[in-house]
Amino acid sequence: MKDVVHIPVMRTEVLSLLIGQNNSSGLVIDATLGAGGHSEALLEKYPDIRIVGIDADEGMLGLAKKRLKKYGNRIDFVHGWFDDVLTELSTQCSVSAILMDLGVSVFHYQSSGRGFSMFKDEPLDMRLFPGHGITAEEILMTKTEEELVSIFSDFGEVRFAKTIAKSIIKHRRNNNIRTAKELADIVFNSVPSRFRHGRIHPATQVFQSLRIAVNNELSRLDRALSLSMSLLHDYGRCAVISFHSLEDRIVKRFFKQNSNKDNDMYFNIITKKPLVPTEDEIKNNPPSRSAKLRVAELVLCKDGVKHENV
């Protein structure tokens, strides 16, 4: 696998907010490890923590293992979907903090060969867990027009979703839609000419919606957030970095719905409004420009029951 330079998004903010004053030791879960940038920063700053790093892509785990080798047994690497792994862990231990960085890595766009970038002539795969589940091509070739419209609208808030879906159905009658560039061209030619040369390519949100559908991303986020309440111990923190409004709304709603102080356990919301990257970070790391960070701290009442921290 080709090494790709990975710069962790909002590194400074994660370092200052993820670990609370009462939890500077113990176990931390990096639920979306990627190339290991955030874990590296946390292990360096907090010498008394251990980390469980989770990723669905074994290739990314390989990059992270190389990067974090010097930390030895302070980090364990787990291959799998983060919501599945969190389910298993929730019956075994409690943790000081959980970090979820929901962004797709630079590697996937630049070097994976799986069709994440609309500008590359690559197979339309888009699976973050290679070899598991349905591909983007299979969705495009098998779903009805109504189902495609729903995917584009619900997961990408795509303008002209119906027009684009009609064009895809028409195209596939005689030709498979095999590559990312083929799909981008179909979308480009589907939308009215005056919308083809805007600030972003007209296929951007179509690609987003397909990736979310292929990897079941929003449902996984919902499940992982719910599991955080059974994993975190008293004053443990959950931090989520999202990259589009659909994800951010889910995180905002979850923290708010679980912030009632009359409950046996509740989230104290640390970031009343989401934090966003500084101008300097955006300049030095353009993919960070759409990031939003929300952090909340779990508080237990006196008779709340939790597992012993390990």
Q: For residue 82, say whether it is annotated as part of any ligand binding site.
A: yes
CB 172 within 8 A of CB 204: no
Number of H helices, E strands in the chain: 13, 7
Q: For residue 113, say whether it is annotated as part of any ligand binding site.
A: no
Q: For residue 83, say whether it is annotated as part of any ligand binding site.
A: no
Residue 98 DSSP SS3: strand
Q: For residue 307, say whether it is annotated as part of any ligand binding site.
A: no
How far is the C-alpha of 119 from the C-alpha of 34, rounded, in Å? 23
Backbone angles phi, psi at 237, to 5 degrees: -115, 145
- Among the residues of 90-215, which ranges form H helices? 106-110, 136-142, 145-156, 161-172, 180-190, 204-215
Residue 17 vs residues 74, 181, 306: alpha-carbon distances, Å: 21, 40, 23
Give DSSP secondary structure letters for 7-29: --TTHHHHHHHSS-TT-SSEEEE
Strand blocks (E) in 37-120: 49-55, 75-79, 95-101
Written as six digits, the tokens of 46 are 């907090």
Q: For residue 36, say whether it is annotated as part of any ligand binding site.
A: yes
Q: For residue 38, say whether it is annotated as part of any ligand binding site.
A: yes
CB 249 within 8 A of CB 260: no
Q: For residue 236, say whether it is annotated as part of any ligand binding site.
A: no
Residue 178 carries which DSSP code? -
Burial class (CB in 10 A: 0-12, 13-18, 19+), 307: middle
Written as six digits, the tokens of 31 are 């639920």
Residues in the annotated binding site: 36-38, 55, 82, 101, 108
Q: Which residues are annotated as a binding site for S-adenosyl-L-methionine?
A: 36-38, 55, 82, 101, 108
